[in-house]
């Protein structure tokens, strides 16, 4: 007798699990970057349009498939058509790749969290050099926050060819991160549903505290003005629309099979249309909310750096020209500089190379995303706050809850497909399957703790799940509308919810969303081709900043294999199914 499929304890648990999975680090460190890059508040126009024509429809599609078929990604697409089993396998492979490197971010979060209890914070100042006669040269050329990230955290090598040794401190943090993931997924939906209350709700509490603190910081208003000052010309920039569509697509976690896995544990009569709208809106609202927090921090950091720059220039001019203390101020600095240049041209020309060009606008325009925002820009702002240890602990605890929430979804896709397999589940209990998945992921993840590990992290992050993911979701949409049949799927949804499918969903699924996915795929493919030789950013310790280098041939080959290794299952499984059906048909043809 087949076991009854486990279910969520309540619809709220399902919604929170989806929110915890969808609302992740990208909401905190990529959306604010895109706002900064593409016109601040004006970026919301293409973003919200893409939410309506792409985000909501595709999220509803995946939740509907999971709830209707009541299986993980592999089983669900096999049920739609035996030829589509490869779509499910591709999703699981992509989810496996994502899990392998995503939890490395959580290990960095643990590392910073543990160091946040030190007074002063270890990234607040440069360490002394070997003979203790001055500060470390690499740190002086970079900054204390960059030095702590690249040297004391990653101990990064100068190139991807120099693999170096495993950093045992980061390796232990990675083991801890995977142990925590295992404890969260140990009992399936029973444990995941309870953990979702924490991972979904706690980050909002921390963000709210940070918002209150951010708005009270000196210069916060400068950051908020920068965010909300319209730059209408950016609406005519195609890249703004493409990045808005990409942000919606990836922030909702489409194509990995996690949403299908979560929805498969729903009651068949659950209103997944309502839940798709709720999750989409919460995800987008969180991105906007976190941007307000981030730009208040940006404003504080930019104002602090600008005023420090001005004070340095004032001190230099005061000492050089023996001016009265307090005579030079930020308001009269430019006028006095012009006077000194005309009155003492020789002396001024000597000091001119030492004068920095201080600009609040240029400080605000410095756009950073990803790990650079999370572990360098934010830490630079935190070190200058009062009671910096408290704000550091809160910030990295929030990053960990966001990261762990996303990891629950990442592992759900893999685990659900494995536990749905009778061959595997008949020999191993789900606790053992979960343990093996975590162990294998952790072992592979140790590659990212090498001295060159961050370069491999960037490879997997940039290439493993971009083009393949777009193709997977495109095939999913076409499969539902034109293989399974939109009318048939509409009847299934009406039987589940008791409500007819509106024209909006049908138009998006059948036409608008597939065309948008094709456009995104062409853009990314063209972008890769036009880019020519693939490059990466390597840390140059002698200069104290990143430099562009070409990937070696073997790295390019690995990038190609990463891209192909997931999507190749789509045609292979379809071809294998076709050959098997022809062979079976040939064996069953009656002899005359």
Distances (CA, A) of 110 to 88, 181, 308, 422, 466: 33, 13, 31, 37, 27
537: β partners: 548
pLDDT of res. 417? 87
Give start and end residues of each alpha helix (H) in 446-485: 453-459, 467-478
- C-alpha 258/C-alpha 410 separation (Å) is 6
Contact partners, residue 177, CB within 8 Å, separation at least 6: 103, 104, 106, 107, 110
Q: Are residues 297 and 378 in contact, defined by beta-carbon separation less than 8 angstroms?
A: yes
The whole-number pLDDT of residue 368 equals 62
Q: pTM for this one?
A: 0.89
Task: List the one residue out of 102, 21, 92, 96 whose CA is nearest residue 457.
Answer: 102
Asked if 162 contacts 451 with a C-beta cutoff of 8 angstroms, the reply is yes
Query: Digits of tens for pLDDT over the chain (592 positions)?
Result: 346 778 888 899 999 999 999 988 888 878 888 887 787 778 888 999 999 999 999 999 999 999 999 898 999 999 999 999 999 999 999 999 999 999 999 999 999 999 999 989 999 999 988 787 888 889 988 889 999 999 999 999 999 999 999 999 999 999 999 999 999 888 777 778 888 888 888 999 999 999 999 899 899 999 888 888 877 777 888 888 888 888 898 889 999 999 999 999 998 888 999 999 999 999 999 999 998 998 898 889 889 888 888 898 888 888 888 888 888 888 888 888 888 888 888 888 888 888 878 888 888 877 666 677 778 888 988 998 889 999 999 999 999 999 998 998 889 889 888 888 888 878 888 889 999 999 999 999 999 999 999 999 999 988 888 889 899 999 999 999 999 999 999 999 998 888 889 999 999 999 999 999 999 888 888 887 777 778 899 999 988 888 999 999 999 999 999 989 999 999 999 999 999 888 887 766 554 4
Considering just the CA atoms, what is the radius of gyration of the chain in Å? 27
Query: In the numeric block, which tokens belong to residue 384?
Result: 């200058």
Helix (H, G, I), strand (E, B) or coil at 125: coil
CA end-to-end span of the chain: 41
Which backbone phi and psi does 165 adopt, to 5 degrees?
Answer: -100, 165
d(C-alpha 446, C-alpha 437), whole Å:
15
pLDDT of residue 1: 39
């Amino acid at each position: 007798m087949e076991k009854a499929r486990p279910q969520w304890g309540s619809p709220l648990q399902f919604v929170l699990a989806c929110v915890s999975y969808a609302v992740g680090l990208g909401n905190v460190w990529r959306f604010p970057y895109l706002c900064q890059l593409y016109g601040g508040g004006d970026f919301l126009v293409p973003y919200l349009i893409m939410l309506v024509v792409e985000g909501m429809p595709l999220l509803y599609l995946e939740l509907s498939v999971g709830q209707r078929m009541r299986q993980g990604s592999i089983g669900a697409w096999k049920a739609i058509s035996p030829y589509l089993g490869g779509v499910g396998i591709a999703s699981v492979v992509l989810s496996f790749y994502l899990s392998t490197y995503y939890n490395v971010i959580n290990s960095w979060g643990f590392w910073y969290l543990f160091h946040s209890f030190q007074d002063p914070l270890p990234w607040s100042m440069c360490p002394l050099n070997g003979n203790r006669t001055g500060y470390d040269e690499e740190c002086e050329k970079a900054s204390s926050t960059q030095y702590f990230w690249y040297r004391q955290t990653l101990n990064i090598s100068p190139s991807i060819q120099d693999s170096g040794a495993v950093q045992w401190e980061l390796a232990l943090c990675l083991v801890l991160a995977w142990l925590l993931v295992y404890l969260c997924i140990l009992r399936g939906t029973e444990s995941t549903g309870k953990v979702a209350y924490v991972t979904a709700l706690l980050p909002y509490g921390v963000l709210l505290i940070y918002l209150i603190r951010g708005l009270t910081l000196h210069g916060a208003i400068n950051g908020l003005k920068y965010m909300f000052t319209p730059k209408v010309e950016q609406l005519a920039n195609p890249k703004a629309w493409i990045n808005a569509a990409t942000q919606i697509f990836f922030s909702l976690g489409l194509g990995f099979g996690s949403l299908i896995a979560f929805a498969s544990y729903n009651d068949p009569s659950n209103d997944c249309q309502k839940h798709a709208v709720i999750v989409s809106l919460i995800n987008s609202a969180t991105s906007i909310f976190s941007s307000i927090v981030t730009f208040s921090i940006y404003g504080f950091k930019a104002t602090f750096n600008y005023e420090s720059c001005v004070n340095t220039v004032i001190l230099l001019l005061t000492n050089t020209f023996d001016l009265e203390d307090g005579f030079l101020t930020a308001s009269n600095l430019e006028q006095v500089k012009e006077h000194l240049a005309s009155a003492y041209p020789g002396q001024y020309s000597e000091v001119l190379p030492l004068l920095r060009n201080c600009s609040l606008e240029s400080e605000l325009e410095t756009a950073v995303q990803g790990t650079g925002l999370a572990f360098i820009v934010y830490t630079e702002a935190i070190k200058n706050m009062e009671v910096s240890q408290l704000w550091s602990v809160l910030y990295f605890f929030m990053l960990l809850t966001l990261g762990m929430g996303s990891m629950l979804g990442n592992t759900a896709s893999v685990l659900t497909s494995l536990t749905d397999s009778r061959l595997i589940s008949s020999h191993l209990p789900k606790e053992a399957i979960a343990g093996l998945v975590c162990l294998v992921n952790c072992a592979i993840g140790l590659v990212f703790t090498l001295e060159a590990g961050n370069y491999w992290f960037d490879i997997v992050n940039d290439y493993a799940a971009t083009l393949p993911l777009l193709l997977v979701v495109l095939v999913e949409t076409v499969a539902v509308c034109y293989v399974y049949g939109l009318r048939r799927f509409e009847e299934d949804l009406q039987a589940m919810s008791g409500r007819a499918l509106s024209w909006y969903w049908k138009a998006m699924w059948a036409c608008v969303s597939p065309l948008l996915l094709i456009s995104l795929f062409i853009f990314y493919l063209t972008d890769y081709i036009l880019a020519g030789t693939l490059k990466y950013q390597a840390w140059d310790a002698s200069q104290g900043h990143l430099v562009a280098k070409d990937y070696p041939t073997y790295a390019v080959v690995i990038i190609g294999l990463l891209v192909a290794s997931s999507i190749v299952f789509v045609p292979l499984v379809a071809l294998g199914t076709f050959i098997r059906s022809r062979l079976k048909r040939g064996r069953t043809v009656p002899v005359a």
